[in-house]
Amino acid sequence: MRMSQLFSRTQRDIPSEAQVVSHQLLLRAGFIRQLAAGIFSYLPLARRSLTKLENIVREEMNAIGGQEITMPVVHPADIWQETGRWYSIGSEMGRFKDKADRDMVLAMTHEEVIADLARNEIDTYRQLPQLLYHIQTKWRDDPRPRAGLVRVREFTMKDSYTLDTDEAELDMQYRAHYQAYFNIYHRCGLDVVAVGSDTGMMGGTLAHEYMVLTPVGEDTLLLCDQCGYAANRQIARFRKPSVAEEIPQAIKKVATPGVTTIEALAAFLNIPKSKTAKAVFMVATRSEDHESQITNHDVEQFIFAVIRGDMEVNETKLANAVKAKALRPATEEEIRAIGAEPGYGSPLGVHDALIIVDDSVATSTNLVAGANETGYHLLNVNYERDFKADSVCDISAAREGDECPVCAHPLRAERGIEVGNIFKLGTRYTEAMQAYYKDEDGNLKPIVMGSYGIGIGRTLACVAETHNDEHGLIWPITIAPYQVHLLALGGKQPEIIETAEQLYADLQTAGIEVLYDDRPSSPGVKFNDADLIGIPLRLTVGWQRLKDGHVELKCRDGQERVSVPLEDVIPTLQTYIATLESEIAAKVVEVAFKA
């Protein structure tokens, strides 16, 4: 491709709307353009890189038995109503009506479509297992699109789905995806970690996220350098500090004027925060079932969470515990309506609230809790004796320095960007949609499903985020838009133009992908644009070397400039390309599975 014909322009200035490096560089290098919040056009350079990335995905999916299909981007609402997700997913789902006034959905994922295909195509165990995948546009109306391609509303995703007879088969397919995903990211030059994650709106029994560690990530990960434990903070576990066992004492009310926080309470009574019971007041939005799912509607329920004062409530864990679509802080009026008092709340004597107690409270004795009366607290509050809970579970948030739940080594916190996820769905969708198969004895059983996603554009953004320097992008050879950037310097000097044109033709004949800067621009502009675009190899035709029958070769990620005789250009480039590809291939190694 000649740059004089390329439908793209570089930019010298950093766009004001771009806050992260990948967004800045992809805009400046002419890879993407923004149409609206979270909606982008991918220009020719980006499209070439995305195609290479997608083909890597195809190769790895095919290698584990995948069959590529294409499913619709528009779905009838009926299938989403069958599984209940029409009601449980909020405003991020794109809903509209067609001309016949039927409710329709813009695809955000395809579990319902796969389950519908399965119930119509699968009859017997002999047709299982299956692995189907597609690479397709999705829509999620994210209220906070940010960071360029990192968080968008319209995006391309590879989503694959496995159909199995039982959990053992599912486990094999899940582990195959687990390794295949590492292969994909490593072939793209991207380092990732797999962490345990929340199943969220997908449901199921097990999930992993693939994370790129970077300070611009929105997720907090808890990692153990000793045993390898890794989890998203949403579900991360830790060894909770134990407290000394005591004999339960009688409750005593004490005056605590103006003491409305755990920190102030601990200081006022001269006790550690672990001796207090913290009250957290939330209101959950939950789906209430009726005779027909089509009439489902949302209801709000007051949630009274109780946790030990030296810990914090993890809202994801709490939402999962009460099966909430959403949580919000309760108002003071709502708190008082259940018989509690803001700043002095406790679960003693409250009504019309779902009480969720962290297991740290259930195993602690003689805690200090609010008296539900302004200016007073209660000493020696004990679970079961003084109050009951609707559920006792882990609702605490892990923090850096907490002990690893596996080996007790201090956990390390890192920020990360999620680039992929895998889920064990089980029979959540197939039972709802009656997708059954006949086993060897002729009995009907629900098909067991798995779901696996990779964000194509987000993966590209993460490569850009982690592969750059102060001059621009540095693409790995495997997904670079071109392998070689050919520069012709010297304006209208016929020898330079003729040599560059011949090299351009020879490179294409040899099957080497080349972007040829044939513009009548200054050497400085051409060098700056080459660094900004970030193609792995730069071949420069200039008079200083050409007079001796040579051209200059430079790797984008190095400083050394090599003088190459004209007759050796093709084999030299082929050697360099093979070396770069071998370096990437060496990173594709087997990774131990961690549940």
Domains and CATH numbers, the chain: 21-73+107-236+412-465 (3.30.930.10), 252-393 (3.90.960.10), 482-585 (3.40.50.800)
Does residue 335 come out as left (phi exceeding 0), alpha (psi in the -120 to 50 range) or beta? alpha
pLDDT tens for each residue of the chain, 595 residues long = 999 999 999 998 888 888 899 999 999 999 999 999 999 999 999 999 999 999 999 999 999 999 999 999 999 999 999 999 998 888 899 999 999 999 999 999 999 999 999 999 999 999 999 999 999 999 999 988 999 999 999 999 999 999 999 999 999 999 999 999 999 999 999 999 999 887 766 667 789 999 999 999 989 999 999 999 999 999 999 999 888 889 999 999 999 999 999 999 999 999 999 999 999 999 998 876 543 344 457 789 999 999 999 999 999 999 999 988 889 999 999 999 999 999 999 999 999 999 999 999 999 999 999 999 999 999 999 999 999 999 999 999 999 999 999 999 999 999 999 999 999 999 999 999 999 999 999 999 999 999 999 999 999 999 999 999 999 999 999 999 999 999 999 777 899 999 999 999 999 999 999 999 999 999 999 999 999 999 999 999 999 899 999 999 999 999 899 999 999 999 999 999 999 999 999 999 999 998 7
Q: Return the structure tokens found at 15.
A: 């766009």
Per the CB < 8 A criterion, the answer to whether 142 and 92 are in contact is yes
Give the pLDDT confidence score for residue 486 in this predicted structure: 98
For 104, counting Cβ atoms within 10 Å of its Cβ (0-12 exposed, 13-18 middle, 19+ buried), the class is middle
User: For residue 199, what pLDDT is reported?
Assistant: 74
- What's the rounded Cα separation, in Å, for the pair 344 and 253? 12
Q: In terms of residues, how long is the chain? A: 595
Nearest by Cα to 92 from 38, 159, 160: 38
The neighbouring-strand residues paired with 32 are: 42
Q: Which of 149, 88, 75 is nearest to 115 (CA)?
A: 75
Structure tokens at 317: 């864990």
Instruction: Note the pLDDT of residue 124.
Output: 97
> β-pairing, 484-488 with 537-541?
parallel
Within the chain, what is the greatest distance between any pair of CA atoms? Answer: 99
Q: Is 235 helix (H, G, I), strand (E, B) or coil?
A: coil
Look at residue 365 in the predicted model and tell me its pLDDT. 95
pLDDT of residue 14: 87
Q: Check whether the bond before 129 is cis (ω within 30° of 0).
A: yes
Q: Round to whole Å and give the CA distance between 137 and 586.
A: 32
Cα–Cα distance between 277 and 106 in angstroms, integer? 45
Measured at the alpha carbon of residue 395, what is the angle toward residues 209 and 150, in degrees to the nearest 5? 30
Helix (H) or strand (E) holding 83: helix 77-83
* 477 closest CA partner among 423, 398, 389, 557: 557
Q: Looking at beta carbons, which pairs linking 310-313 to residues 24 or more positions away fall under 8 Å? A: 310/241, 310/272, 310/273, 310/274, 310/276, 311/240, 311/278, 311/358, 311/360, 311/396, 311/397, 312/396, 312/397, 312/399, 313/278, 313/280, 313/358, 313/395, 313/396, 313/397
Position 201 scores a pLDDT of 63
Query: Where does residue 574 fall: left (phi above 0), alpha (psi -120 to 50 degrees), or beta otherwise?
Result: alpha
- pTM for this predicted structure: 0.90
443 CB burial (10 A radius; 0-12, 13-18, 19+): exposed
From CA 138, how far away is CA 429, in angstroms rounded? 20
- At residue 291, the pLDDT reads 39
Position of tokens 């290098």? 29
Say which residues have a Cβ less than 8 Å from residue 212's Cβ, sequence separation at least 6.
Answer: 190, 191, 192, 416, 417, 419, 462, 465, 466
Question: What pLDDT, on a 0 to 100 scale, did the predictor assign at position 517?
Answer: 96
Three-state secondary structure call for residue 151: strand
pLDDT value for 197: 84
Provide the pLDDT for residue 289.
54
Predicted confidence at residue 19, as pLDDT, reads 86
